[in-house]
Amino acid sequence: MTETGGNLILDPDTRILHVLTESAGVVAEVARVAIRRHLIAGFRVAVASRQAVFAELDLPAGPNLVHIDVPVRSGLRPGDVGRAFTLHQHYRHVDVVHAHGLHAAALAGLAMTGLPAHLRPALVATVGRFSPGGAIDSAEAALVSRWAAVVLGTTDPVCERFVDEVPIVERAELITPDIDTVWEARRTRREVRDDLGLRAGTWLIAAPVELTDHDPLTTIVEAALELRAQRPDWRWAVAFTGAGRLRGIIDEEVASRRRDIILADGVSTVDIVSAADLVLATERMTAIDAEGIMQLARPAVFVGTERAGRVWGDAVPRVGSTDTRALLREIERLIDDPAERARTAIAGKRRVIDVDGADLIAGDLLDVYAAALPAAR
């Protein structure tokens, strides 16, 4: 990712337009703080939103604050082209547009259509978690990629969506983390190990992989079968927690013949992942996703393609879909190195849960705006 920084200073006469579709949520929370503090600092600020949203922001009135009544709401709606045109008409009078949320950012990008390059403001988009595979979300993300100078993603996986297409992509500073599901174990590590029948000193490896016919599953099963021979001085248990049509075959051909390979029943995936010393992750998992494993702060190895593994970041090791030897090496390396396991676990958690003090956010956003102006296309 390209980061802002250096000696860029935002001109105090810079005209800033914020586009908001709502007043609640982690993205709007930051917008409220930033707008208030930028007004106090003397910047000229406009807010484009519904009247109700503007009122709920509870901003200090004054000559530097203008409200533009634009009835924008979250999600695609009839009339959005007209709302984008309203923004378009105001763009020649502003320098930086900061759109808060994917839909707001898509409208803000659409509003650039037809403006000569010298009249286009720099677009900064704060984008929260969304579904890149959904048709509407994908179309809106494409608009953001086309027009934004800066994307601030609320999680690193969001940033990954734009990093190859937008000049500057950074992690958004948040006051409250942008998480949809709060993943929490209900049973202690000891209870889980007792439920699985593990002896003291056993290394527990969780594999929440989908039990269907795909290469990463084959690689993980092969590694599980070879672990005992590779390091006979350690006690191993590999717990498969996923669902899928191959579950019965794995039970009959593998788990029923090996005490160190478990098809977990009666213990939740989240509890097993939380209790594990290491997690083997793939693009296709059941009962938990990549962000859930990161949120639980578990060290992991990703098995799959380079592209699919980008969501995990650089701290989590990745091995190819069919590279059993590489997977065995990574398992052994991490089990041998508790400090490295802790580092990868913490780095993963920060990719989805990372917050900052409100005092720092407003000032840092001014640096982002200063970087956005020369980066605007």
pLDDT at 5: 54
Question: Which is more confident, 97 or 352?
Answer: 97
Answer yes or no: is pLDDT of 137 > 90: yes
Residue 5: inside a domain: no
| Same domain assignment for residues 93 and 198 | no
Model confidence at 71, in pLDDT bands (50, 70, 90)?
confident
| Same domain assignment for residues 310 and 366 | no
Q: How far apart, in whole angstroms, are the C-alpha atoms of residue 68 and residue 125?
A: 19
- Outline where DSSP puts E strands in 162-299: 168-171, 202-207, 235-240, 261-263, 278-281
Answer yes or no: is pLDDT of 2 > 70: no
Q: How far apart, in whole angstroms, are the C-alpha atoms of residue 182 and residue 191?
A: 21
Share of the chain above pLDDT 90, in %: 77
Residue 262: inside a domain: yes
| Same domain assignment for residues 335 and 255 | yes
pLDDT at 234: 94
The CATH number of the domain where 370 resides is what? 3.40.50.2000
| Same domain assignment for residues 153 and 224 | no
User: Which residues constitute the domain of residue 126?
Assistant: 15-179+356-375
Q: Which residues of 283-318 are buried (b: 16+ CB within 10 A; e: fewer)?
A: bbbeebbbbbbbbbbbbbbbbbeeebbbbbbebbbb
| Same domain assignment for residues 60 and 152 | yes
Residue range 49-77: average pLDDT? 90
| Same domain assignment for residues 323 and 214 | yes
| Same domain assignment for residues 129 and 168 | yes
Residue 6: inside a domain: no
- Residue labelled with tokens 């759109």: 99
pLDDT at 375: 83
Residue 4: inside a domain: no
Residue range 299-314: average pLDDT? 91
What is the per-residue pLDDT across 145-201, written as a single tens digit (0 to 9) for each? 999 999 999 999 999 999 999 999 999 999 988 887 778 899 999 999 999 999 999
pLDDT at 3: 59
What is the per-residue pLDDT across 22-54, written as a single tens digit (0 to 9) for each? 999 999 999 999 999 999 999 999 999 999 999
Q: How far apart, in whole angstroms, are the C-alpha atoms of residue 230 and residue 328?
A: 8
| Same domain assignment for residues 213 and 276 | yes
- Residue labelled with tokens 């191959």: 246
Residue 10: inside a domain: no
Q: How far apart, in whole angstroms, are the C-alpha atoms of residue 230 and residue 299?
A: 21
| Same domain assignment for residues 249 and 101 | no
Total length of the chain: 377
pLDDT at 113: 92
| Same domain assignment for residues 83 and 165 | yes
Whether the CB-CB separation of 102 and 29 falls below 8 Å is answered with no
pLDDT at 377: 55
Which residues, other chains included, contact 211 with Cβ-Cβ below 8 Å and sequence gap of 6+? 217, 240, 242, 243, 244, 245, 246, 247, 250, 286
pLDDT at 31: 95
Answer yes or no: is pLDDT of 288 > 80: yes
Residue 70: CB atoms within 10 A of its CB come to: 24
Answer yes or no: is pLDDT of 63 > 90: yes
Query: What are the two backbone dihedrals, phi and then psi, of residue 192, each rounded to the nearest 5 degrees?
Result: -65, -45
- Outline where DSSP puts E strands in 44-149: 44-49, 65-69, 96-100, 122-127
- How many domains does the chain contain in total? 2
pLDDT at 6: 52
pLDDT at 223: 97
What is the per-residue pLDDT across 318-377, written as a single tens digit (0 to 9) for each? 999 999 999 999 999 999 999 999 999 999 988 888 776 676 788 889 999 999 999 875
| Same domain assignment for residues 86 and 199 | no
Residue 3: inside a domain: no
This prediction's pTM: 0.70
Answer yes or no: is pLDDT of 110 > 80: yes
pLDDT at 8: 63
Residue 64: CB atoms within 10 A of its CB come to: 17
Averaged pLDDT score across all residues of the chain: 92
Whether the CB-CB separation of 156 and 339 falls below 8 Å is answered with no
| Same domain assignment for residues 80 and 34 | yes
Residue 359 sits at the vertex; the CA angle it makes with 350 and 355, to the nearest 5 degrees, is 15
Answer yes or no: is pLDDT of 120 > 60: yes
Whether the CB-CB separation of 261 and 315 falls below 8 Å is answered with no
pLDDT at 363: 87
pLDDT at 208: 97
Model confidence at 112, in pLDDT bands (50, 70, 90)?
very high
